[in-house]
Structure 1
Amino acid sequence: MMITKIIKAGLISATLLTSTGLSAHAESVLKFRFNDGEREEMRAALDEFEAANPDIKVELQTISWKDARDQFLREAAVGQGPDVAHIAFVWTKEMAEAGVVKAIEDLTQYGEFANGFDDFIATDLTQYNGKAYGVPWSADTWAMVYRTDLLEQAGIEELPKTWNELKAASTAVKQTTSNSGFSFPGASQIWFPVNYYLWSNDKGFIVEDGNGGYKLGVTKEDVVDAMNYFKSFIDDGEAPSSIVTIDQPHDPSILQALLDGQQAMAVMPTNTYRQLLSAFEEANPGEPVPFMSGPMMAGTGEPKTHLGGRTLVVNENTANPEDAWKLVQFLTSAQLFEKYYTNQFPAQKSLLSEIEYRPEEKGFSTQLANYTRTWGPYAESKAQLGQMWNVTSRAFSASLSGQKTSEVSAEELIAEISRMIED
């Protein structure tokens, strides 16, 4: 990613890149917990931070996304855990409510952001009781990815625009090329395509009730329909049955199938797509890239995906809040996204405006600019979004695998979410 025309004054905090402001206290050791795949790159970034701040050492901890939320909540509840944690946008309110993360206004005494906190996007998702408890770190969304040569072999001249067209294209690929049509992560992160399916049909697990509260926004029949739709790709042999165990869209079994030309279509976030493009170019230097991206599928409504991203929070239990805040400021600086965290888009208006998309990424830019929404009622209702994510993923996994019928899985899921809204 290239970010040009960086404003000289302050996108990189002087306290981070010069010796000015280095405190005279003894060396401190911070723990930073990171959930994405760029571990080597992040370690290199932290080495740069340590060089600029020789009295601070940073231990990089890594954890999978599916374990990150519960692990941090358990540890922080008993006074433990990393000093700075990498979390999803929508976990911030829950962690603030649990009292395990520090309010931003208590940390800015150690230094303000050059362009202010309002320069960050989606700050509403960091709010709890009138205070912000996290710093939006990166912004992203999901979109569709296509292997153009397989679509051509299958006689598909236009990218599918609806869920029915996606199924028809998947069937055509399987019948004409014997390769997989459409594949998706069928375990934890099926949460995302399932919600896109519902939102595109003007539904949602939780919606506003019109009286300042929230209510269930789907029927059992809606959920059964979604379960059967995704299950049809497995039942019809257009996606491998092994996807029910796949947690992440960047799982090698999905990316390698796309790289090898054994799968035509997938759904994934921006950073995963960039990994795919880089992997192809590295393995096939000088060859044309056979990938194209496009917006998500439409239903009765628009093809909505979530405005997603990552947030940085400071543990309420940290013994070194000033140094932890220095680290947060470094992690949100422009050079981190230019040099190290290049698969992500910064969650800052001043930096997002400088992004240059390559042609293969236009589907993501269109989706991000025109067809995203926040989790809204999901994050604002009494239901804990992380818990709802977990129970939804389990219910869909049970249906996809055949462990339970879609009717039983849907009925159980409806009961669980209804209980969460009422509690």
Structure 2
Amino acid sequence: MRRHILTKLLLASTVLAMGASSVLADANLVFRFNDSERDEMRAALDEFEAANPGIKVELQTIAWNDARDQFLRESAVGQGPDVVHIAFVWTQEMAEAEAVLPLDELTKYGELPNGFDDFIATDLTMYEGKAYGLPWTADTWAMVYRTDVLAEAGIDDLPTTWADLRKDSEIIKEKTGKTGFSFPAANQVWFPANYYLWSNGGNFIEADGNGGYKVGATREQIADDMNYFKGYIDDGLAPRSILSIDEPQDPALMQGLMDGSQAMALMPTNTYRQLLGAYEQAHPGEDIPFNSGVMMAGSQAPQTHLGGRTLAVNANTEHPEEAWKLVQFLSSAPIFEKYYTNQFPAQKSLLSKIEYRPEELGFAKELADHTRTWGAYADSGVGVGPLWNLTARAFGTALSGQSSTEQAADDLIAEINRMLGK
């Protein structure tokens, strides 16, 4: 299949050299999109179709939890969408699987306005010296607060450490009967688990100093990580129902923030913007009772991941030129100005133009001063996706009480070592 695709691309290059590329053939594309802004993205695609007669785009949506594995299965048998929406950290894995096309096979159909260097986190798109995706959006997670609930509990200052967060949650429960802090405890517990571990000097994987990789945390550190979040559930500070919550935008979490029955949460940029928009729509003209702040510190400074989304073209597409034209359109400024407004663009030239709302300044500071890439998680060869799934399962067994935190930590370490070939 790969040889067949390359043959088609060589033929397309011949046609291009003959001057026939200025008129695109009729094409039906499929764009798979994983976020919640389906209606907005459909409107953007309608604009693209109007400007490009002969190209029709079907919009498919899929949950983030299923997106990676689904696309890898499809691409392996020559199927899947023409343009796919993936996480930064999946790009190398998909390139290794020959599931997506390198950009140098696509930029011959049209260069990027400010070049590839205008995009951030391009290192995460590289595999064997070539880029295989175009960074689309940039984001991170930060803390979100209902300032009126904090005031009701007599809390004047935002917490700055994990210990403070726990203490404030206890005060809120005692004085108001409300939930202090809650979090998605199923698949996406991966994020707070890493933030806690990083702020306390650990990593699930790190370089070993000899050209290889190792588990970068002790059994005690990982068990402490598990015990911290388990304590909120066991002590009634957060509802046990969060064990089944995968996404930070789950209505069960968002409703508590919307109606003021919960004071604090952690979430990504786009979820916070959705929360602000929903509150303004439900309470027109009222003051916004939300604020944001940087993530909690442990024994070291707070850290979250530099995350985001990438656009890639399926190696099996029959319309690489039209697919690239769609990618160029989706990366243009009007998309972020009119349609995909909950996201920050992954381009320096566009990021420099962002005006943050006062309620968003915690996210701006987190993104500027307290983020890191997944680093060794991706470089080790284990891959962020498999490590994420493994870690989430281990935390799930510990938080639910299916195993002790010590046993879950031992099992996680053993599995990571197995994946590292040790």
Is the TM value for this pair above 0.5? Answer: yes
Quote how far apart the aligned CAs of 1:297 are. Answer: 0.3
Contact kept in structure 2, 1:29 and 1:59, CA below 8 Å: yes
User: What's the CA shift for 1:80?
Assistant: 0.4
Q: How far 1:33 moved relative to its partner?
A: 0.5
- Structure 1 position 400, deviation (Å): 1.2
Tell me whether 340-349 or 384-393 shows the greater mean CA deviation.
Answer: 384-393
Corresponding residue SS for 1:422: coil
Cα RMSD after superposing both structures: 1.1
C-alpha deviations, 1:289-337, integer Å up to 9, x for none? 1111000000111100000000011100000000000000000000000
Asked whether 1:66 is paired with 2:59, we answer no
The alpha-carbon deviation at position 213 of structure 1 amounts to 2.2
Identity %: 67
User: How far off is 1:212 after superposition?
Assistant: 2.5
- Distance between the aligned counterparts of 1:260 and 1:318, measured in 2? 46
Q: Give, in whole Å, the separation in 2 of the partners of 1:242 and 1:76.
A: 36
Specify the alignment match of 1:352 in structure 2. 351
Shift of 1:25: 4.7
Question: Whole-Å Cα distance in 1 between the matches of residues 202 and 223 of structure 2?
Answer: 13
- Post-superposition CA distance 1:51-76 (Å, at most 9, x none): 00111000100000000000000000
Unpaired runs of 5+ residues, structure 1, are 1-20
Mean Cα displacement is larger for which, 383-392 or 116-125?
383-392
Query: Which residue in 2 is equivalent to 1:205?
Result: 204
Structure 1 letter corresponding to 2:232 = F
Q: Is the 8 Å Cα contact of residues 138 and 347 (structure 1) preserved in structure 2?
A: yes
2:13 corresponds to:
none
**Does the 8 Å CA contact 1:382/1:422 hold for their aligned counterparts?**
no
- Deviation digits for residues 82-107 of structure 1, max 9, x if unmatched? 00100000000000011111001111
Name the aligned partner's letter for residue 333 of structure 2. Answer: A
After TM superposition, the structure 1 = structure 2 runs for residues 330-345 of structure 1, keeping only pairs within 5 Å, are 330-345=329-344
**Matches of 1:44 and 1:403, distance apart in 2:** 46
In structure 2, what is the Cα distance between the partners aligned to 1:148 and 1:162?
Answer: 18
Q: Secondary structure at the match of 1:280?
A: helix
Residues 23-422 of structure 1 aligned to structure 2 (within 5 Å): 23-422=22-421
Offset at residue 345 of structure 1 (A): 0.2
**Amino acid in structure 2 at the alignment position of 1:61:** Q
- Letter paired with 1:57: K
Secondary structure of the corresponding residue to residue 205 of structure 1: strand
Query: Retained in 1: the 8 A contact 2:24–2:322?
Result: no
Q: 1:22 & 1:316 partners in 2: Cα distance?
A: 20
Greater alpha carbon shift after TM alignment, 123-132 vs 147-156: 147-156
Deviation of the 1:23 alpha carbon: 4.9
* Deviation for aligned residue 1:127: 0.4
Contact 1:234 1:240 in 2 (8 A): yes
Residue in 2 that maps onto 1:10: none
- Return the letter of the residue paired with 2:257: L
**Does structure 2 retain, via aligned residues, the 8 Å contact 1:206–1:217?**
yes
Contact 1:384–1:420 (CA under 8 A) maintained in structure 2: no
Post-superposition offset of 1:222: 1.1
**For 1:44, what is the secondary structure of its paired residue?**
helix
- When the two structures are aligned, how many residues end up with a matched partner? 403
Structure 1 residue identity aligned to 2:63: S
Contact 1:206 1:216 in 2 (8 A): yes
Contact 1:83/1:318, CA 8 A, preserved across alignment: yes
Give a deviation string over 1:251-271, Cα, whole Å, max 9, x none.
001111100101010000000
CA distance in 1, matches of 2:172, 2:204: 32
**1:103 and 1:132 in contact (8 A); partners too:** yes
2:410 and 2:270 map into 1 onto residues whose CA distance is 35
TM-score normalised over the length of structure 2: 0.94
CA apart distance, 1:24: 3.7
Contact 1:22/1:53 (8 A) holds in 2: no
Q: Cα distance, 1:22 vs. partner?
A: 8.2
Q: In structure 2, what is the equivalent of residue 18 of structure 1?
A: none
Structure 1: distance between partners of 2:356 and 2:77: 44
Tell me, in whole angstroms, the C-alpha distance in 2 between the residues paired with 1:304 and 1:25. Answer: 46
Offset at residue 26 of structure 1 (A): 4.0
**Structure 2: where are the runs of 5+ without partners?**
1-19
4+ residue stretches of structure 1 with deviation over 3 A?
A: 21-26
CA offsets 1:221-251 (integer angstroms, 9 cap, x no match): 1111111100111111111111111110000
Distance 2:122 2:176 in 1: 46
SS at match of 2:203: coil
Distance 1:330 1:25, change over 3 A: closer
Distance in 2 separating the partners of 1:419 and 1:136: 31
Is residue 32–residue 60 contact of structure 2 (8 Å, CA) maintained in 1?
A: yes
